[in-house]
A and B are shown apart, each in its own frame.
Chain A
Amino acid sequence: MLRHVTGAAVAAWGLSGLGWLGLAAWSSLGDAGIGPICRASGGALDDVLRPELLLGTTLMMLAMMGPLTAGPMHHLWHRSLARHRLRAIGLFWLTYIALWSLTGMLFALAAANASRIGNAALLALTLLIALAWQFLPAKATALRRCHLRPPLAVFGTRALLDPPWFALRLTAWCVASCWAVMVAAVAAQNATPGLVPMLIASAIIAWEQLWRTPLRSDAAAWARWSMWPRGLDSAQHVGWWKWLRQRAAGWSASLQNFFPCLFSGYPSKAKKSSPFS
């Protein structure tokens, strides 16, 4: 099985692992280490921009977002001239991690300021927002764009600019896709010590971007939300009551995609053993 793991995947997960190791080592230092990243006491910009917090945020983003770069690195490697491969990946990574670190610091700043309303209330609010965001069409649109694989220039200045431009676009879509989970994780970090909230957020982000097979039915359900006029138009075909039932079924399908464990009876008819075997 190992021979099928691409070098890009090994590199991406390896970098992520280094990030987690760094964070774990730092977190063992207590308030001298990881703690202040997400608990900047006064919520002031100066607090967040302290060098150790910058480094901590960068490590955090390396750990959390590293696995998402396997596909992009694979793309950069194979779509670049052999002697430009490492350069392209380096430029991509520099831009990618810089943008994510900047975003991470903004999250930390926002969480530190918001913590004035109380950690429990903040946590409940962010969890609610994160849950709602997961079901909005805009989230699905952003998630689909996280699989962007654009053409890359080979020669001239554009060969230098395209990898960072790719990173910029990809990061923008990925931030748009998972900001809510990230904010909830930062808020949870305020309330609980350790890396557990970040690990959970990382698992959710990696699962939805790397493992979850996007379903057409899911996309269609999103489309019915996001293109309301067309949805209303289809209501004329099928009748309003039936149309509402279909919408409910579509939303239910989306819910099942995210939380299959809530639907433990499914699939009811598929046999485990196959007559082919």
Chain B
Amino acid sequence: MPRTRRDVWKLGGDWNDTILWYARAVKVMSARPFSDMTSWRYLAAMHGVAEQLWRSNGYMKPGESLPDAVAFRREDRDQCQHHTWYFLPWHRGYLRAFERIVAAAIVQLGGPVDWALPYWNYNDESNPNRLDLPPAFGSQTWPDGGTNPLFVVARYGSTGQSGGPITLDPRSVSLDDAFLEDSFVGTQIGGSPGFGGGRTPFKHSGRGDEGLLEQSPHDNVHGDIGGARDNDFMDPSKIGLMSNPSTAGLDPIFWLHHSNIDRLWESWLRAAGHVNPTGDSAWMNGPARNRPFVMPEADNSTRTTFFAREMLDTTGPKLDYIYEDITNPFAARERVAERLEGLGIARAALEAVEPAAERDMARKPQVELLGANAQGVRLSGPEAAATVPLDQTTSRKVLESFRSGLESTTPREPDRVFLNLENIKASSDAASFSVYVGLKPDEKPEDHPENLAGVVTLFGVAEATSPENPHGDNGLNKVIEITDAIDRLHLAGVQELNQIPVRFVLRRGRASDIQIGRISVYRQGK
């Protein structure tokens, strides 16, 4: 009988049995020595560990050191996969190990044998509280008395105050881009990063295209919850646990957030044409290179290696869990058809449009650079503007794709266009900004939500910026689709594409700390 993971908001009451037993298990696991593979800290360190930050937050005491075991140093620690197509399968294996260890602790405490990790569904439109941190996690007390194990001091949200109310920004949890993307795997550099991310080997941090689900809601939710104490983003010891990959696993809410991300993967698959890249042996047999994915078992002695291919069937005996709800809220929508309709193609003519899966199989996308600015941009204030000049030869291809695609008797989708923010460097993982495209100099971003291209949270940027880290000093790359903005230009009758105005609006962080190495624009056509 598979475990059933349920929405934390639908479990009934702040301290329902599922949450109460979770808290008890957290307490027990937190008391275990760091070197115990089933301890709270060992599991968190598998995602990432930064010794100084753990000490400054009180998770390592004076005189205490990181586990000495070779297995910890070489394979277990700092394993999380980000900015890679392994993001989803690795985190699924991580959750699976965590859930079994927590469940074993609950059984030892005399709790239910069928405990399952809940998820935080911040996208449930029927729940007015969906964006609020579930109350049990924000309370300093709990039914068993003493300090609530689910409460974390270093959780600052937007107020910058420990213990303050934490509410996610609705823009942070947008699923639009991720769920309307048909392909799991990203195309080439510069084009769509796909639902699940770009092709990489084992990738703990650094460059590489992160998938659309990883960008939003994953990164944004991390930053919205973590924040920074007193909104001081320049002191690493004041950054909230959830903001940084090397501390995030210490926060009990981390696991409910990732349970939801894992659920959203299942949900995305419930739409026509959405499939995992099971035909791609590099993904199925991944990770490539010489470092495996490895997780501890609840017996505290066995470590198990796994591959992406083993993370596909949640209902099979290997994973053995289901979600209460994997409805795809976008199942009735089709990105290409919606776009063509928006561009004036009559619905009757859309019958001729090929289904997404057939289209993708038929043609390999062509991606090429359309233009880039020369100097990048430093966010020197609450707002920063940049103009991306476009190459005329290439931009004519984009315009031509509108003409040939829309005037055909069997309409074809014109080129998609993507904004790339390359080599983003900053010292604060909690930093976040919104990106607007196509605003005139005198237009205010808040008056033009239609120009909002995306919200960027720099989860993992400190490590990607530091030259002390492997592959560091290159910063992060972000890819944001701006096809809507190009469509609006087409509908406005624009005959030439010379430049794209981009506006950055700071949400969190110190502006002068954020440097974007290059802003570029790519076209993706068939």
Contact = CB atoms under 8 A, between A and B. Distances in A.
Interface of A: 1, 4, 74, 78-83, 141, 144-145, 147-156, 158, 211-220, 223, 234, 237-239, 242, 245-246, 249, 253, 256-257, 263, 266-272, 274-277
Given A78-B369, A237-B62, A216 B302 contact: no
A276 B473 contact: no
B68 A78 contact: no
Contact of B391 (A154, A239, A267): A154
Contact of A78 (B74, B93, B190, B376): B190
A155 B63 CA distance: 56
B294 A238 contact: no
Contacts of A212: 290
A211 B471 CA distance: 13
B303 A151 contact: no
B291 to A, nearest CB: 4
Given A256-B74, A274-B305, A274-B310, A214 B471 contact: yes
A211 B394 CA distance: 36
B517 interface: yes
B74 A141 contact: no
Contacts of A81: 368-369, 391, 393-394
Interface stretch (B121-129, B164-172, B337-345, B462-470): B462-470
6 contacts: A79-B520, A141-B467, A152-B518, A219-B469, A242-B63, A249-B68
Contact of A1 (B282, B376, B471): B282
Contact of B372 (A144, A145, A154, A214): A154
Given A1-B281, A79-B369, A267 B301 contact: no
A151 B422 contact: yes
B306 A276 contact: yes
Contacts of A154: 369, 371-372, 374, 389, 391, 520
Contacts of B304: 270-271, 274-276
Given A211-B290, A217-B77, A267-B71, 19 more contacts: A4-B282, A79-B518, A82-B394, A141-B467, A144-B470, A147-B471, A148-B473, A151-B518, A152-B372, A158-B374, A211-B289, A214-B471, A219-B470, A238-B62, A246-B68, A253-B70, A271-B302, A276-B318, A277-B318
Contacts of A150: 423, 517
Contacts of A256: 70, 74
Contacts, number: 164
Contacts of B467: 141, 144-145
A197 B280 CA distance: 38
B291 A215 contact: yes
B425 to A, nearest CB: 11
A269 B471 contact: no
A276 to B, nearest CB: 3
A181 B210 CA distance: 36
Interface stretch (B147-155, B199-207, B224-232): B199-207
B73 A253 contact: yes
A267 B207 contact: no
A223 B52 CA distance: 13
B489 to A, nearest CB: 21
Contacts of B75: 267, 270
B189 A78 contact: yes
B204 to A, nearest CB: 7
A113 B62 CA distance: 54
A152 B374 CA distance: 8
A144 to B, nearest CB: 6
Nearest to B64: A238
Contacts of A78: 188-190, 367, 369
Contacts of B368: 81-82
A274 B292 CA distance: 12
A217 B78 contact: yes
A58 to B, nearest CB: 30
B55 interface: yes
B55 A237 contact: yes
A219 B468 contact: yes
Q: Which of B204, B281, B307, B468 has the most C-beta atoms of chain A within 10 angstroms of its own C-beta?
A: B468
Contact of B291 (A147, A152, A213, A242): A213
Interface of B: 51, 55, 62-65, 68, 70-71, 73-75, 77-78, 93, 188-190, 199, 201-202, 204, 207, 280-282, 289-292, 294, 301-307, 310-311, 318-319, 367-369, 371-372, 374, 376, 389, 391, 393-394, 422-423, 467-474, 517-518, 520
A211 B62 CA distance: 37
Contact of B70 (A80, A211, A267): A267
Nearest to B310: A276
Contacts of B280: 4
Main secondary structure of the interface of B (DSSP, over half): loop
Nearest to B63: A238
B74 A215 contact: yes
B290 A213 contact: yes
A267 B303 contact: yes
Contacts of A141: 467
A37 B85 CA distance: 46
Contacts of B188: 78
Nearest to B280: A4
Nearest to A243: B65
B42 to A, nearest CB: 14
A77 B471 CA distance: 20
Contacts of B306: 274, 276
A213 B71 contact: no
A270 B393 contact: no
A158 B389 CA distance: 14
B182 to A, nearest CB: 20
Contacts of B290: 211-213
Nearest to B393: A83
Nearest to A277: B310
Contacts of B303: 267, 269-271
Q: Which of B282, B374, B389 has the most C-beta atoms of chain A within 10 angstroms of its own C-beta?
A: B374
A151 B473 CA distance: 12
Nearest to A223: B468
A213 B289 contact: yes
A130 B162 CA distance: 52
A151 to B, nearest CB: 3
Contact of A217 (B74, B190, B307): B74
B282 A269 contact: no
A150 B422 CA distance: 9
Contact of A269 (B71, B78, B318, B517): B71
Contacts of B55: 237
A234 B190 CA distance: 43
Contacts of A274: 304-307, 310
